[in-house]
C-alpha cells in the first residue's frame, strides 16, 4: 500500500482540502492540528496509519489537556482528526476509523460575548477618526459577516440596498440589507481612497494591496485596545449583530439566513443571552 506514512497522508489530506475550495484559514488550522497529532504519534513510535488505535488518539487528547489546552480546543482538534480519518477511510487507505470511538472532552460552552451599549458606541466613535477603520467597524456591526467574508469583499459587491457576500468556507452566498449608516461609511471610505490603484477589492492597504484577514484583526485589535475593551474578538461583532436582531423581534430563521448559519441551533443559543439582557433592562440600544 502506498502513502501509508502519516506525514505523507496528512499532506495529501491538506491538498484535498485545497481542491475542495476550503478557506486558507481552515486549511492552516487543519494543518497545524494534524502536524501536532503526527508529532505526538512519532513520540509513541507510530509512523504507519494502520497502527493508530483509539488509545493513541485518547492519549493525544489527554496530553493536550495536561498541557493546559482548554477542553474546547482539544475537542476541536479531535474534530480535525476525525475529518482526517474519515477522508482516509473514504479514500480506501484504512478500513476502520479509530477516532469514532474517542469521546469529546466535556466542557461548558461559554455564553456569546456581546458588546454593551457603551462598548459599541465607543468603538464607533473611535473608528470615525479614520474612514477605512470606520467602514470596517460599521460593516461588522451592521451585517454580522465573518472576517474572511469582509476581507473578500469587492467594490462590485456593494449594491444600492444590499451587500453581496460570496461563499466563504461552509458559509453560503447571500445578500444582506445595507442600511444608510453602512452605505455612507463605505462611500466616505471610497472617496478617501479614490486615488489608490487596486484590483477591485473593497478594502485595500495604503499601497493598494488587498487588506488581509490578519490586517483586519490588527486594526480591530487596536480599536479594542484604544477604547479599553478587553477579552474581545472580531467575532463578537457578529455576536452583537445577532443579539440585536433577536432583541428587535427578528425570527431565528431570518437571522440564520442573514449570517449564514447552517443550523438553527447556532442562532438559537443567543436566545437565552438576549432574554437575560432584557430581564436586566440592559437593552442593546440602536446600532
Q: According to the CATH classification, is domain 6-101 in 1.10.150.130?
A: yes
Give the separation between CA 238 and CA 144, rounded to whole angstroms. 4
Can you give the pLDDT at residue 275?
64
Q: What is the mean pLDDT of the chain?
A: 87
Task: List all residues 6 or more positions away from 200 whose beta carbon is below 8 Å from its beta carbon.
Answer: 154, 155, 156
Give the separation between CA 260 and CA 170, rounded to whole angstroms. 9
| Inter-residue contact 134 to 189 (CB < 8 Å) | yes
Average pLDDT, integer, range 225-247: 92
pLDDT digits (tens, 9 = 90+) for 113-160: 899 999 989 999 999 999 999 999 999 999 999 999 999 999 999 998
Asked if the model's pLDDT at residue 196 lies above 90, the reply is no
Domain boundaries, the chain: 6-101, 117-279
Average pLDDT, integer, range 78-93: 93
Continuous H helices in the chain: 6-19, 24-43, 54-66, 71-90, 117-127, 131-143, 147-151, 180-192, 213-227, 235-247, 252-259, 264-268, 271-279
Can you give the pLDDT at residue 281?
44
Local structure of residue 248 (DSSP, 8 states): T
Can you give the pLDDT at residue 168?
82
> How many alpha carbons fall within 13 Å on the CB side of residue 73?
14
Which band of pLDDT confidence, cut at 50, 70 and 90, is reported for residue 284?
very low
Q: What CATH superfamily is the domain 117-279?
A: Intergrase catalytic core (1.10.443.10)
Which band of pLDDT confidence, cut at 50, 70 and 90, is reported for residue 277?
low
| Inter-residue contact 216 to 147 (CB < 8 Å) | yes
pLDDT digits (tens, 9 = 90+) for 108-120: 667 788 999 999 8
pLDDT digits (tens, 9 = 90+) for 252-275: 898 989 898 888 878 887 887 776
Asked if the model's pLDDT at residue 185 lies above 60, the reply is yes
| Inter-residue contact 9 to 3 (CB < 8 Å) | yes
Amino acid at each position: 500500500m502506498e502513502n501509508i506514512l502519516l506525514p505523507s497522508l496528512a499532506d495529501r489530506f491538506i491538498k484535498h482540502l485545497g481542491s475542495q475550495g476550503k478557506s486558507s484559514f481552515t486549511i492552516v488550522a487543519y494543518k497545524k492540528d494534524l502536524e501536532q497529532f503526527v508529532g505526538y504519534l512519532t513520540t509513541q513510535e507510530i509512523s504507519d496509519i494502520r497502527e493508530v488505535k483509539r488509545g493513541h488518539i485518547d492519549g493525544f487528547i489527554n496530553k493536550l489537556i495536561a498541557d493546559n489546552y482548554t477542553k474546547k480546543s482539544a475537542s476541536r482538534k479531535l474534530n480535525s482528526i476525525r475529518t482526517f480519518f474519515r477522508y482516509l477511510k473514504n479514500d480506501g487507505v484504512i478500513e476502520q476509523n479509530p477516532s469514532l470511538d474517542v469521546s469529546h472532552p466535556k466542557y461548558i460552552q461559554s455564553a456569546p460575548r456581546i458588546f454593551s451599549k457603551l462598548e459599541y458606541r465607543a468603538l464607533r466613535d473611535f473608528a470615525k477618526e479614520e474612514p477605512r477603520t470606520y467602514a470596517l467597524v460599521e460593516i461588522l456591526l451592521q451585517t454580522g459577516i465573518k472576517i474572511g467574508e469582509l476581507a473578500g469583499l469587492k467594490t462590485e459587491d456593494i449594491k444600492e440596498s444590499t451587500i453581496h457576500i460570496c461563499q466563504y468556507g461552509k458559509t453560503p452566498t447571500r445578500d444582506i440589507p445595507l442600511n444608510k449608516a453602512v452605505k455612507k461609511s463605505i462611500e466616505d471610505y471610497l472617496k478617501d481612497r479614490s486615488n489608490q490603484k487596486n484590483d477591485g477589492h473593497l478594502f485595500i492597504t495604503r499601497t493598494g494591496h488587498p487588506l488581509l484577514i490578519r490586517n483586519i484583526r490588527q486594526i480591530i485589535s487596536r480599536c479594542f485596545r484604544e477604547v479599553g475593551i478587553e477579552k474581545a474578538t472580531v467575532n463578537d461583532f457578529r455576536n452583537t449583530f445577532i443579539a440585536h436582531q433577536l432583541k428587535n423581534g427578528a425570527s431565528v430563521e431570518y437571522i440564520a439566513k442573514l449570517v449564514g448559519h447552517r443550523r438553527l441551533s447556532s442562532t438559537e443559543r443567543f436566545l437565552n443571552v438576549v432574554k437575560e439582557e432584557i430581564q436586566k433592562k440592559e437593552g442593546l440600544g440602536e446600532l
